[in-house]
């Protein structure tokens, strides 16, 4: 069971990264919280790994911090939450904010996450509220900064990543039209701004 990987970041995208460990490329799926924190391609990086074994495949999920990995594994203990949905949840909300929503029993906030309906939100609160309180996390909030419009190719990549997360294409298009990041903005920054608007 792989628990930790250190190697060269050979490729990164919102869907997955490739980590070159002594000549072996490991495909690792990561949430946006980890993706945003990654260095440029070619740099060395260490990821905390959760290995998910299925009958026909082995999938690796990577996290920059032990806390992210711990939260991911907590999510997997909830009935109906698989690794893809667990990753998508952490892509839509930071671990600290998710802990706050669970501790408060904020069903509206949890139901706003794509793939999480009211019943699943209730189950998350019921099964995880006491567990996350033990983590001692605090609610964190951030605001987006205005700027100028990015190029269309960048917006297409961002739109694809958000649609893969479960957001409706019409909503994604509307939100991206409202964004105005600086001309030299990286994809990570545009994704962050879009997610902040989508999570309101």
pLDDT at 76: 93
Q: Which CATH architecture has domain 4-63?
A: Beta Barrel (2.40)
Q: Over the stretch 22-56, which tens digit does the pLDDT of each residue have?
A: 999 999 999 988 998 899 999 999 999 999 998 88
Mean pLDDT of 1-21: 93
- CATH 1.10.150.20 domain position(s) in the chain: 66-135
Contact 150, 156 (CB under 8 A): no
Residue 163, pLDDT > 80, answer no
Length of the chain, please? 200
Tracing tokens 């509206």 back to the chain, one arrives at 108
Q: Which residues of 51-60 are buried (b: 16+ CB within 10 A; e: fewer)?
A: ebeeeeeebb
Q: What are residue 63's phi and psi, to 5 degrees?
A: -140, 145
Comparing CA positions, the residue from 3, 123, 13 lying closest to residue 63 is 3
pLDDT at 48: 95
Mean pLDDT of 83-90: 91
Q: Which CATH architecture has domain 154-199?
A: Orthogonal Bundle (1.10)
Topology of 66-135 in CATH?
A: DNA polymerase; domain 1 (1.10.150)
pTM of structure: 0.69
């Amino acid at each position: 069971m792989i628990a930790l990987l250190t190697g060269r970041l050979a490729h990164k995208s919102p869907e997955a990264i490739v980590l070159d460990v002594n000549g072996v490329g490991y495909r690792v799926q990561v949430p946006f919280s980890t993706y945003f924190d990654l260095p440029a391609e070619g740099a060395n990086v260490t990821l905390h790994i959760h290995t998910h074994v299925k009958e026909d495949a082995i999938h690796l999920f990577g996290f920059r911090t032990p806390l992210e990995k711990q939260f991911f594994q907590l999510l997997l203990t909830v009935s109906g939450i698989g690794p893809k949905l667990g990753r998508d949840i952490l892509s839509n909300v930071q671990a600290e904010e998710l802990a706050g929503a669970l501790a408060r029993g904020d069903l509206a906030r949890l139901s706003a996450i794509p793939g999480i309906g009211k019943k699943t939100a209730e189950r998350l609160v019921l099964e995880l509220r006491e567990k996350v309180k033990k983590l001692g996390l605090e609610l964190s909030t951030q605001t987006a900064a205005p700027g100028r419009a990015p190029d269309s190719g960048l917006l297409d990549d961002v739109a694809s990543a958000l649609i893969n997360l479960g957001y409706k294409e019409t909503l994604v298009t509307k939100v991206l039209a409202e964004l105005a990041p600086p001309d030299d903005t990286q994809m990570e920054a545009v994704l962050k701004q879009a997610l902040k608007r989508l999570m309101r």
